[in-house]
């Protein structure tokens, strides 16, 4: 509810007379909320949002437009947009019933027009966006985007926001390489395992990360190193020469967290993974 004031002016023969001031209450019957349907985000993720528009009045509101800034923020006197609308993802419901797809402009900003909210009803617009390279990363990273509802006889723009944080925790990947790729009987070969962490948290000994592999052909292990430090069988790893099963022991694999930087020129976020290397050398 908003209070408004109004006063009239009468002019005649060079004279001016003001009327009394009247006041009234403008009851706002349309409201909007925005909900993020994704708990957090990482670069390349798809996140979804729902904008719910409620009409408690006795008249329908037609031809409304929902505009979403897709998380736009200011960086070094320019505007960066961390979300990219996923083409064709808009769904429009009235009281839970799916409606024909409204008019959509991908933007940025994203605009969805032609929304109708009947009297005493609610309309929901659901859509998805891909997290791009301008999304803030790290433990303090967030995306806050604002939806604005306009048109259709609404007296003042209605805004609703949703904020989601960047994903936290460890995020490991492992790649394996063989050198040489062609080996003769009784020849030597080396398996190299590179473990990378693109997450915000380091993997500690207490996390009990374990690497297992079954070497085929079975090898006679001559050395195992972890980031250049020699490992000892029974202390750092186990190996069954009859089956070729190799396994690191719990608490031996530790991987540092990633680092995140924002390019001062482009504003793009760059991830430098934490990385460790495990090598196993042996003869066939």
pLDDT of residue 2: 56
pLDDT for residue 1 is more than 60 = no
Q: Are the C-beta atoms of 62 and 152 separated by less than 8 Å? A: yes
Predicted confidence band at 26 (pLDDT cuts at 50, 70, 90)?
low
More confident residue, 269 or 186: 269
The C-alpha angle with vertex 225 and arms to 215 and 275, in degrees rounded to 5, equals 95
- CATH placement of domain 29-165: 2.60.40.740
What does R_g of the chain's alpha carbons equal in angstroms? 31
Predicted confidence band at 153 (pLDDT cuts at 50, 70, 90)?
confident
Q: Quick one: average pLDDT of 145-158?
A: 93
Nearest to 82 by CA among 125, 36, 43: 43
Q: Quick one: average pLDDT of 128-134?
A: 98
Q: Quick one: average pLDDT of 236-257?
A: 97
Between CA 245 and CA 247 the distance in angstroms is 7
pLDDT for residue 268 is more than 60 = yes
- Buried b / exposed e over 101-118, threshold 16 CB at 10 Å, is ebebeebbbbbbbbbbbe
Q: Provide CATH 2.60.40.740 ranges for the chain.
A: 29-165
CA distance readout (Å), 202 to 167, 169, 177, 194, 254? 14, 8, 24, 15, 7
Q: Quick one: average pLDDT of 13-17?
A: 90
More confident residue, 76 or 131: 131
Q: Are the C-beta atoms of 212 and 224 separated by less than 8 Å? A: no
- Percent with pLDDT over 90 in the chain: 87
Nearest to 172 by CA among 257, 229, 251: 257
Nearest to 50 by CA among 152, 134, 160: 160
Between CA 138 and CA 168 the distance in angstroms is 7
- Residue 98 bridge partners (DSSP): 93
Between CA 116 and CA 155 the distance in angstroms is 16
Q: Quick one: average pLDDT of 191-208?
A: 97
Between CA 148 and CA 108 the distance in angstroms is 13
Predicted confidence band at 186 (pLDDT cuts at 50, 70, 90)?
confident
pLDDT for residue 143 is more than 70 = yes
pLDDT of residue 183: 82
Between CA 196 and CA 173 the distance in angstroms is 5
Q: In what order do the strands lie in the sheet with 142-151?
A: 103-105, 110-117, 61-68, 142-151, 158-165
Q: Quick one: average pLDDT of 148-161?
A: 93
The lowest-confidence range among 40-49, 68-77, 151-160 is: 151-160
pLDDT for residue 243 is more than 60 = yes
| Phi, psi dihedral angles at 26 (to 5 degrees) | -100, 110
pLDDT of residue 4: 67
pLDDT of residue 23: 76
Predicted confidence band at 25 (pLDDT cuts at 50, 70, 90)?
low
């Amino acid at each position: 509810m908003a209070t408004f004031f109004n006063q009239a002016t009468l002019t005649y023969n060079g004279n001016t007379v003001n009327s009394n001031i009247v006041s009234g209450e403008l009851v706002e019957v349309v409201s909007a909320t925005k909900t993020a349907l994704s708990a957090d985000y990482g670069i390349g993720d798809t996140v979804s949002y729902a904008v719910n528009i409620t009409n408690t009045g006795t008249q329908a509101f037609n031809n409304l437009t929902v505009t979403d800034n897709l998380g736009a923020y200011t960086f070094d006197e320019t505007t960066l947009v961390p979300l990219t609308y996923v083409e064709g993802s808009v769904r429009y419901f009235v009281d839970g019933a799916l409606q024909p797809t409204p008019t959509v402009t991908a933007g940025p900003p994203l605009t969805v027009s032609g929304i109708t909210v009947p009297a005493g009803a609610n309309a929901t617009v659901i859509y998805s966006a891909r997290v791009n390279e301008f999304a803030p990363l790290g433990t303090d990273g967030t995306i806050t985007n604002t939806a604005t509802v306009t048109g259709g006889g609404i007296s003042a723009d209605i805004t609703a926001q949703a904020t989601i944080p960047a994903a936290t925790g460890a995020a490991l990947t492992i790649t394996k390489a063989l050198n040489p790729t062609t080996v003769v009987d009784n020849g030597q070969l080396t398996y190299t395992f590179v473990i990378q962490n693109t997450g915000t948290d380091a993997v500690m000994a207490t996390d009990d990360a374990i690497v297992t592999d079954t070497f085929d052909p079975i090898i006679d292990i001559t050395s195992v190193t972890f980031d250049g430090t020699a490992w000892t069988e029974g202390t750092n790893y186990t190996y069954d020469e009859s089956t070729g099963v190799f396994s690191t022991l719990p608490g031996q694999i530790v991987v540092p967290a990633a680092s995140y930087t924002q390019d001062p020129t482009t504003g793009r976020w760059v991830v430098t993974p934490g990385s460790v290397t495990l090598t196993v050398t042996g003869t066939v």
